[in-house]
Amino acid sequence: MNDRILIVDDEETLSYFIKESLEEKGYQAIATHTAEEGLDVVTRQQVDLVLLDLKLPDGDGLDVLYEIRKADSNLPVIVLTGHAGVESAVQAMKLGAYDYLEKPINLEELSITAAKALESRAMRQEIQRLRLQQDKDQQFIVGDNKQMQEVMRLVERVAPTKASVLILGESGTGKEVVAQAMHRLGPRANKGFVPINCAAIPDSLVETELFGYEEGAFTDARRPKPGLIELADGGTLFLDEISTLKPELQAKLLRFLETETVRRVGGIKDIPIDLRVVAATNRDLRQAIQSGEFREDLYYRLSVVVVDLPPLRVRVEDIDKFVAAFIADFNKATFKNVQGIADDALRLLRRYEWPGNVRELRNVIERAMILCSGDLINVGDLPAEIISAEPSMAFAGNVVPIPPVSEGVDMEAMVAGLKKRMILEALAQTQGNKSRAARLLGVSRDQLNYSIQKYGLQTEQ
């Protein structure tokens, strides 16, 4: 526990006992006895909480409170006062004090109040951090790709509602960016957007991170801690890589979605929560359901609306816009003045397969700008795997190569061959998911099944 508590009280014996009590609880405590000493610590050191006596030998405690709030408006202050000073304590609350305690001080009550004040500060800091992160210039590039334009229209329709949304897409396609766009377009935009990567949290910690815990729930639970679901109350909870959740946590998450209440680990009461849930995965959850890895009832709770993001390799027409946006971002971050990218380098980017999707493209541009010595990114600034890559077979950007036409060519056979290649490419890009492949090709699933049978194509699904 690294929380640092400042005591400002001229009663040295009381300050000593408070300091000893707080240090026994695991806090760092600093004792000062004058207004000047206390303000000096606040302005020069990191402090997480102030215990402030309203009667000081060199100043009025209310004046000290005013100066503390001016130095750090988020720093909680608990005022200490005698019975006769309750009126001043109430005035201190109006000036922004967190709470007040009457003397003689009950050390256990002080400990509980201090823990609550520190928890409140931590939550405000986290919300502020998340809002700053949310406000960063994250461009949701729709571009000219028809699928992405349809995605944006769907996002705009869903954003004002509270419906749970499941975002599907390969790793790096921008699932979190879409979730943030949905949050910003909705009525909860002024509340927190709390992203959780379920795959990045160790299995042993997922439950306590999501649901929080009460004091004494386990050996190191010295004080209660709210979970990330509570932190998102009023806003949007983004659960990335939802497929990695263990079955027991899937059951607990389902209960939360059904009851809109959360119970901390070791707790006995349900806490009402009002938030919007957006989940994302790069896996086919229906396959996970069939294999027993994912609950079917949870899937239906999460997938009230499904947003399916296309991979970058079928958004060839939008690569120029991504490159321009990333160059502008990195110019700001690195104080460079790169004007653009050479035509031959751009052609290489357009023909690359992009297994890492938009995330990989962003990393490539960042690397290229580090190596770039002129006004333009050139071929030599690109990674070797992009320079040496074979041309893409992706059909979205009219990149499918047309066989040479000669006299006596069998046009029907040629067209049939192209159709077969396009169908196989679509199935490969969607990991054999026929519904997504049909959408990619702009046909119905029945039409796709008919073509698969017609051309005798072997598929796993």
User: Of 17, 108, 7, which is closest to residue 61 (Cα–Cα)?
Assistant: 7
Greatest Cα-to-Cα distance within the chain, rounded to the nearest angstrom: 107
CATH class, 148-308 region: alpha beta
Q: Which of 100-104, 177-181, 407-411, 447-451 has the lowest mean pLDDT?
A: 407-411
For the chain, the domains span: 4-120, 148-308, 312-387, 411-454
pLDDT in tens, 183-230: 989 999 888 899 999 998 888 888 898 999 988 888 777 788 888 999
The dihedral built from the CA positions of residue 126, 131, 134 and 136, taken in this order, carries a sign that is negative
**Cα(75)–Cα(58) distance, integer angstroms:** 22
Task: Assess if CATH 3.40.50.2300 describes domain 4-120.
Answer: yes
State the fold for domain 312-387. Answer: Helicase, Ruva Protein; domain 3 (1.10.8)
Angle at 304 (CA atoms; ends 302, 308), nearest 5 degrees: 85
pLDDT in tens, 372-427: 888 899 999 999 888 876 554 444 444 445 555 555 656 677 777 778 878 887 78
Query: Both tokens of residue 378?
Result: 């050139």
CATH class, 411-454 region: mainly alpha
User: Of 285, 274, 370, which is closest to residue 326 (Cα–Cα)?
Assistant: 370
Question: Which residue stretches of 83-227 are H helix?
Answer: 86-94, 107-135, 146-158, 175-185, 203-211
Residue whose token pair is 């729930």? 217
Do 4-120 and 148-308 agree at the fold level?
Answer: yes
Confidence of residue 243 (pLDDT cuts 50, 70, 90): very high
Contact 89, 114 (CB under 8 A): no
**Cα(393)–Cα(44) distance, integer angstroms:** 62
pLDDT in tens, 43-75: 888 899 999 999 899 988 899 999 998 888 889
- Whether the per-residue pLDDT at 95 is higher than 70: the answer is yes
The Cα-based distances of 400 to 45, 207, 392 in angstroms read 64, 48, 8
